[in-house]
Homo-oligomer: A and B are copies of this chain.
Amino acid sequence: MSLLVVGSVAYDTIETVQSKVVDALGGSATYISLAASYFTHPVHLVGVVGSDFKKEHIDLLSKKNVDLKGLQIVEEGKTFRWSGRYHKNFNDRDTISTDLNVFETFNPIIPDELKNDDFIMLGNIDPPLQLNVLEQINKPKLTVLDTMNLWINIKKAELLEVLKNIDVLIINDSEAELLTGEANLVKAAKQILNIGMKYLIIKKGAHGAVLFNCDKVFSAPAYPLENLVDPTGAGDTFAGGFLGYLSMQSEINFEVMRKAVVYGSVMASFCCEDFSTSALENLTEEKIRNRFNEFAEIARF
């Protein structure tokens, strides 16, 4: 099934206590597409970069069957840059700088041949742009959305509008609390589901993720990650693995979503084991299947 991914493509400068990388490949659409590429192809990426976007990164995405006909390249523009520093515990990070560059005026235009894609992943961008994408496409089979605290704080009305028009929201626990004012995960989940989407996934970082619909709950185990190098992009990678797996299933229901959440967790666990997209560049079906089996062994009782 065809998968459309809309989001940012960026160059990240990331510092951890141990190490640092400068201008490394990043962005929500990048992580989502790379993760999804292990399950389905082509993955159609819609985003924007400047003319400084490196050929090696075009080649990397193309090699992974990420179709770039929806990637706008702005001549003499500069690609979105983000720079951040992680604390020792990796749970907290400080943003050092955000230079939106060409992303500031990003207007996602869906090429005609992608308007019938079955699965739509709206990465974390300005909610009106997410709504704009939904207006361009034809009845998809499933629409999944990610967002962030910034939009909850400054564009809540617009965000709520787009949330009424999607099937699955992926959000983290602090965002769920910010959105609802409710610290209790279950109460927050009920409030969010009341907005209108069918499924809600609340990510809890190192503590796993929880899937809700109106009457069921699935709690995916936390993977005991010993070699945590860089959590940047783990949430996007989760979404990519989740939707990549779903897009290959003949039917979408809660039972299938359980496995999809675990595949999302599998991909996110790989993502954290190296800087930037490095760990996502050389995975194999076997490595992914083995880690899925590890998750099963960890959760079994």
Q: Which residues of A contact B (CB under 8 A)?
A: 88-90, 183-187, 189, 204, 206-208, 210, 217-222, 224-226, 228, 258-259, 261-262, 296, 298-301
Q: Which residue of B lies closest to A216 (CB)?
A: B297
Q: Which residue of B lies closest to A228 (CB)?
A: B184
Complex CA distance for A207 and B224, rounded to whole angstroms: 13
- Contact call A221/B221, Cβ cutoff below 8 A: yes
Number of copies: 2
Q: Which residue of B lies closest to A222 (CB)?
A: B219
Quick one: which of B90, B204, B262, B301 contacts A296, CB cutoff 8 A? B301
- Contact call B301/A259, Cβ cutoff below 8 A: yes
- Contact call A186/B217, Cβ cutoff below 8 A: no
Complex CA distance for A35 and B89, rounded to whole angstroms: 34
Quick one: which of B185, B228, B258 contacts A224, CB cutoff 8 A? B185
Complex CA distance for A123 and B226, rounded to whole angstroms: 30
- Contact call B226/A186, Cβ cutoff below 8 A: yes
- Contact call B298/A217, Cβ cutoff below 8 A: yes
Are A261 and B224 also in contact (CB < 8 A) when A206-B185, A208-B207 are? no
Complex CA distance for A228 and B182, rounded to whole angstroms: 13
